[in-house]
């Protein structure tokens, strides 16, 4: 019973948080300062997601094989290697380091 | 031809590289949640919550002996990051509230990244079309994990989780350095055009996205050890508040535009 309740609360709450913005503020051009902030939300969130996926495990900060994989991929991307290839390189670097460990 | 990727909607095509890593993480979830919640609830959870961060947050509370309320709180807190994302998407959306509600419900981390077109604009159709691959592989991965991935072992060993930050990075770099990474496809080129429409890249160079990205990374690193999962990303979104100050660049750009 408790499990079903947990699932229901998480499902409804998640949809609420995804949809409040689109429903309340959708389709309208907000005032200039807000527009400038919105323009910067994406770089902020994406950067935070990258850091989370590279250096964290739960609540721990770790430098492990992922950091090496992302680092090599970042260099590849900088030299205009296509994204899918960069992902492949990162996975290989990561797997090799984990094998060696 | 419909079977050639070129003819597919952009969001669908862009989300394809995520199929494997999402399925792997979904398997991890099924593997961990199955024994604790039961097979059907675990699969149902992936099907209706559809958020790895929230599901793992709730699961880790339950695993460490926490109650249902605490688990629900952790899961919801992890997903508060969708609030700023939803408000960022909103101005790019068209249609009636019901339509916007349904589109908003399709939002996921990767969709937000895929649909982002720079300068606060989003391709809403790309955001929506990025959902199917992520949904099917997430739920499918959970089913496989629950059904006993014991034969394959824990997929987190494979290191596929490294694919997420690389994928996000490939979509962020053209935003931060539009004049450098021009080979990155249509979007990068369009932005490069915009960046060079002023008087050369140096004068019209917008450093703010870079500053914000660095600030957000620092906030995330600082908060990860002390805040529950998902929350650092929410607080990092506040780095965008430096946009409150009107940029000096925009004034010089306006001046250049008047000259032309």
pLDDT, tens digit, 9 for 90 and up, residues A25-80 = 988 888 888 888 888 998 999 999 899 989 998 889 999 999 999 999 999 999 99
Domain region containing B184 = 8-254
Residues of A in contact with B109 (CB under 8 A): 49
- Number of folded domains in chain B? 1
Distance set, CA B226 to CA A58, B74, B229, B231, B235 (Å): 11, 14, 9, 10, 12
Residues of A in contact with B209 (CB under 8 A): 40, 43
As a whole number of angstroms, the distance between CA B40 and CA B204 comes to 55
Q: Do B212 and A44 touch (CB under 8 A)?
A: yes
In a domain, B204, yes or no: yes
Q: Do B213 and A44 touch (CB under 8 A)?
A: yes
Say whether residue B232 is in contact with chain A using an 8 A CB cutoff.
yes
Say whether residue B97 is in contact with chain A using an 8 A CB cutoff.
yes
Residues of A in contact with B183 (CB under 8 A): 80
In a domain, B97, yes or no: yes
As a whole number of angstroms, the distance between CA B258 and CA A3 comes to 62
In a domain, B259, yes or no: no
User: Is the Cβ–Cβ distance between B83 and A17 less than 8 Å?
Assistant: yes
The CA distance from A65 to the nearest CA of chain B, in Å, is: 8
Residues of A in contact with B220 (CB under 8 A): 47-48, 51-52, 56
In a domain, B1, yes or no: no
In a domain, B116, yes or no: yes
pTM score above 0.90: no
Q: Do A36 and B244 touch (CB under 8 A)?
A: yes
Per-residue model confidence as pLDDT tens for chain B (260 residues)? 566 667 789 999 999 988 988 998 898 899 889 988 999 999 999 999 999 889 988 988 888 777 898 889 889 988 988 999 999 999 999 899 999 999 999 999 999 999 999 888 999 999 999 999 999 999 999 999 998 756 666 666 677 778 889 988 988 998 898 777 644 444 544 544 454 443 344 445 689 999 999 999 999 999 999 998 888 988 999 999 999 988 775 444 443 433 33
- Probe site for chain B from A3, A44, A50, A78 (most B CB atoms < 10 A): A44
Residues of B in contact with A3 (CB under 8 A): 37-38, 41, 68
In a domain, B32, yes or no: yes
ipTM (interface predicted TM)? 0.89
Q: Which residue has the higher pLDDT, A101 or A17?
A: A17
Q: Do B241 and A37 touch (CB under 8 A)?
A: yes
In a domain, B3, yes or no: no
In a domain, B177, yes or no: yes
Number of Cβ within 10 Å of residue B176's Cβ equals: 21
């Amino acid at each position: 019973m408790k499990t079903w309740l947990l699932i229901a609360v998480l499902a409804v709450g998640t949809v609420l948080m995804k949809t409040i913005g689109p429903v309340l503020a959708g389709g309208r051009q907000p005032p200039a300062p807000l527009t400038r902030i919105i323009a910067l939300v994406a770089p902020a969130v994406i950067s935070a997601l990258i850091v989370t996926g590279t250096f964290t495990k739960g609540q721990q900060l770790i430098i492990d094989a992922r950091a090496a994989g992302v680092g090599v991929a970042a260099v590849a991307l900088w030299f205009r290697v296509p994204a899918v290839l960069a992902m492949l390189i990162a996975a290989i670097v990561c797997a090799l380091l984990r094998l060696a460990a | 031809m419909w079977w050639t990727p070129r003819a597919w909607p952009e969001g669908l095509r862009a989300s394809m590289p995520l199929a494997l890593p999402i399925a792997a993480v979904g398997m991890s979830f099924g593997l961990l949640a199955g024994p604790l919640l039961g097979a059907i609830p675990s699969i149902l959870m992936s099907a209706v919550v559809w958020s790895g961060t929230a599901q793992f947050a709730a699961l880790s509370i339950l695993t460490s002996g926490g109650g249902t309320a605490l688990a629900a709180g952790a899961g919801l807190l992890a997903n508060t990051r969708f609030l700023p994302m939803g408000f960022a998407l909103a101005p790019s959306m068209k249609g009636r509230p019901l339509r916007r509600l349904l589109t908003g419900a399709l939002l996921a981390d990767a969709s937000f990244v895929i649909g982002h077109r720079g300068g606060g604009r989003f391709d809403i159709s790309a955001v929506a079309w990025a959902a199917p691959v992520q949904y099917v592989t997430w739920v499918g991965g959970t089913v496989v994990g629950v059904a006993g991935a014991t034969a394959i072992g824990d997929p987190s060993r494979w290191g596929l989780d490294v694919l997420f930050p690389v994928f996000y990075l490939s979509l962020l770099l053209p935003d931060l350095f539009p004049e450098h990474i021009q080979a990155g496809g249509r979007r990068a080129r369009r932005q490069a055009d915009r960046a060079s429409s002023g008087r050369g890249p140096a004068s019209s160079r917008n450093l703010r996205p870079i500053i914000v990205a660095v600030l957000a990374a620092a906030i995330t690193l600082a908060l990860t050890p002390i805040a529950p999962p998902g929350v650092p990303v929410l607080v990092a979104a506040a780095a965008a508040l430096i946009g409150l100050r009107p940029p000096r660049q925009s004034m010089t750009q306006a001046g250049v535009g008047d000259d032309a």
